[in-house]
Amino acid sequence: MEFKSLLLDITDGIAKLTVNRPESLNALNAELLSELECAVYQLEQDSAVKVVIVTGAGEKAFVAGADIKEMSSMTPYQAHQFALKGQRVVLSLQKMKKPVIAAVNGYALGGGLELALACDFIYASDKAKLGFPEVTLGIMPGFGGTQNLARLVGPGRANEMIFSGRMISAEKALAWGVVNELFPAEALLSKAVETAATIGGTGLIGVGYAKDAIANGLNMTKEDGFRYEASLFGVLFATSDQREGMYAFVEKRKAAFSGN
């Protein structure tokens, strides 16, 4: 599918998905959300794609939120459809079996921060600013932000960010654990690609199952989480990757994983 507001580059198993509406600081309008929904589905199905990186075009913004100009004149029905679409995007991204890295190159606000939080982890530029300005618009986060942020940083910090609507600096986002690591803007993407390549060189069935265990385990008691982890661990012993990984170690060679 041809995209109007998304750029998609797939090189060496790494898909770089760039939100591309720099004139609106990459704000998410309904059309862009539809494109994101298609892109996520396409990337999940494409066996050539091992790892996904989500970023924003231009130097200023990752995504400055949902498109306020478009939202301002929505009917309740359109707003409902918009909300459902946005939630589908965030949920499908979050449920992807493949690892997804957000490279936050500038403002990540509202729905934009929610998009980043739906990824498996976030790298950011040291100039990035993150926040949930929704309350300043008379609304609240609605693409999973209240849930994902509170799980990541705890209720106190999530409450402060969401109730005040204030942006936090990249340094604070790092200190609070919203982002994993900061890089100078010009190095951000290459660092994300470097990590994506490291992940892409491993046994990706194991990575996918670990992602499943971490995400679903967070909603279980610890005991149930351990039990779930053990079942997934056992299933991996039915894969070629497990045999290849272990034989390669014993034979002192680099494993050649097939993803089977």
Q: Kindly list the residues in this chain that would bind ligand DAK in the complex (CB under 6 A).
A: 24-25, 27, 64-69, 79, 83, 86, 107, 109-111, 133-134, 137, 142-143
CB of 66 to ligand DAK, least distance (A): 4
Q: Are 37 and 84 in contact (CB under 8 A)?
A: no
CB of 74 to ligand DAK, least distance (A): 9
Q: Which residues are catalytic?
A: 114, 134
CB of 151 to ligand DAK, least distance (A): 18
Nearer to ligand DAK, 45 or 73 (CB): 73
* Strand pairing report for 51-56 and 14-19: parallel
Nearer to ligand DAK, 28 or 51 (CB): 28
Nearer to ligand DAK, 51 or 149 (CB): 149
State the DSSP H helix or E strand holding residue 103, giving kind and residue range, or none if neither.
Answer: strand 100-104
Closest CA to 73 of 85, 82, 64, 61: 82
Nearer to ligand DAK, 137 or 248 (CB): 137
Q: Residues 206-231, buried b or exposed e (16+ Cβ, 10 A)?
A: bbbbbbebeeebeeeeeeebeeebee
Residue 31 vs residues 14, 77, 120, 137, 230: alpha-carbon distances, Å: 25, 16, 24, 22, 42
For the CA atoms of the chain, what is the radius of gyration?
Answer: 19
The distance in angstroms from the start CA to the end CA of the chain is 28
CB of 165 to ligand DAK, least distance (A): 8
Closest CA to 32 of 60, 59, 69: 69
